Amino acid sequence: MRYFLIFFSLGLIMLIIGCTPGTKDSDNQQQKSADTVRVSYINQNDSKGKELKKRGAIIAKLSTIAIGEALNKVINEEGAERAIGFCNLQAMKITDSLAKVEGVIIRRIAKKNRNPLNKTNAVESKIFKQYIMEWLANKTLRPKLSIDENDHPVYYKPIITNNKCLQCHGKPGETMPQNIADKIAKLYPNDKAINFEVGHPRGMWAITFPDIIASKN
């Protein structure tokens, strides 16, 4: 019931959020090569791990629905080209209220990112690489729980590209209409988030639990 209420309040909040362009430069942290980085995982199957995965799954699902609905609404009402300008799709603002209520940090991150603010850090790049290996091996991509540099647990869930995503993340001039490709290239000169196909891992949800200190495996 609580989640039900949160979800509906998201709709309202979406109507009143103020939008600011995302132009902050986050490139001051050096990314180490993925091979030198160690990922610390939490025991995924003890009761604490299971509980965190349950919470992460619900929050990721609500966030997916909220962003998907907002996107659909803007695309249907104004068309995909205008939808890019939907606060440059400052999508995370939509999930901020959920994050506040749950006391978590919600991020939508990608190695091939469009907005550099959404980039994976060194550990996350390694986790994403593991997902890519699993995907190439035709394995089911299951959520993972790791521990960040402050010993907080982080829940990761892959985001898979579907047909709707291609108009903004597909092949320019082919699956992605040229007018949209041009507009996005102007807004995001360092865009890496194109040339995706249906079913490809696009990025990950990352949900950090800042109130919890995790014990390692």
Which one of 10, 60, 62, 80 is in contact with ligand HEC (CB under 6 A)?
A: 80
Q: Which two tokens stand for residue 136?
A: 């190439």
Q: Which is nearer to ligand HEC, 73 or 164 (CB)?
A: 164
If phi over 0 gives left and psi between -120 and 50 gives alpha, with beta otherwise, what is residue 157?
beta
- 203 scored as a contact of ligand HEC (CB under 6 A): yes
Which stretch in 94-102, 126-134, 142-150, 155-163 sits in contact with ligand HEC by CB under 6 A? 155-163
Q: Please, which of residues 50-79 interact with ligand HEC by CB under 6 A?
A: 71, 75
Q: Please, which of residues 163-182 interact with ligand HEC by CB under 6 A?
A: 164-165, 167-169
Which stretch in 34-42, 122-130, 150-158, 161-169 sits in contact with ligand HEC by CB under 6 A? 161-169
**Closest Cα partner for 166 from 143, 191, 194, 128?**
194
Strand duo 201-208 + 153-160: pairing? antiparallel
- 44 scored as a contact of ligand HEC (CB under 6 A): no
- 125 scored as a contact of ligand HEC (CB under 6 A): no
- Buried-exposed string 55-73: b where 16+ CB fall within 10 A, e elsewhere: bbebbbebbeebbeebbee
Q: Which is nearer to ligand HEC, 10 or 89 (CB)?
A: 89
Q: Which is nearer to ligand HEC, 34 or 214 (CB)?
A: 34
CB of 75 to ligand HEC, least distance (A): 6
- 193 scored as a contact of ligand HEC (CB under 6 A): yes
